[in-house]
Amino acid sequence: MAKIIVTHLSPDFDSIPAIWVLRHFHPDFADAEVRFVPAGSTLDGAPAGSDPDVIHVDTGGGPFDHHETNEYTCAAKLVWEWIKKERGIEDEAVDRLMELITAFDHAKDLSWPDAADDKYELMLPAIVAGWKMTYPGDYQKIVELGLIATDAAYSVMKSKVQAEKALDAGIEFKTRWGKAIGVETKNEGTLQLGEKLGYALVCKKNPRNGSVRIYGRSDFGVNLEKAYEKLTKLDP
DSSP one-letter code for 46: P
> CB-side exposure of 32: number of CA atoms within 13 Å?
28
Is the pLDDT assigned to residue 205 strictly greater than 80? yes
pLDDT classification of 165: cutoffs 50, 70, 90 = very high
Q: 107-138, pLDDT tens digit by residue?
A: 999 999 999 999 999 999 999 999 999 999 99
Is the pLDDT assigned to residue 1 strictly greater than 80? no
pLDDT cut 90: percent of the chain above it: 97
CA distance 178 to 224: 14
CA distance 76 to 154: 13
CA distance 177 to 221: 6
* Mean pLDDT, rounded, for 160-188: 97
Other C-beta atoms closer than 10 Å to the C-beta of 214 total 17
Other C-beta atoms closer than 10 Å to the C-beta of 181 total 19
* Mean pLDDT, rounded, for 6-32: 97
Q: Quick one: which of 177, 231, 183 has its CA closest to 207?
A: 183
pLDDT classification of 92: cutoffs 50, 70, 90 = very high
* Mean pLDDT, rounded, for 85-93: 96
Other C-beta atoms closer than 10 Å to the C-beta of 176 total 10
pLDDT classification of 15: cutoffs 50, 70, 90 = very high
pLDDT value at residue 68: 83
* Mean pLDDT, rounded, for 169-194: 97
CA distance 187 to 101: 25
pLDDT value at residue 69: 86
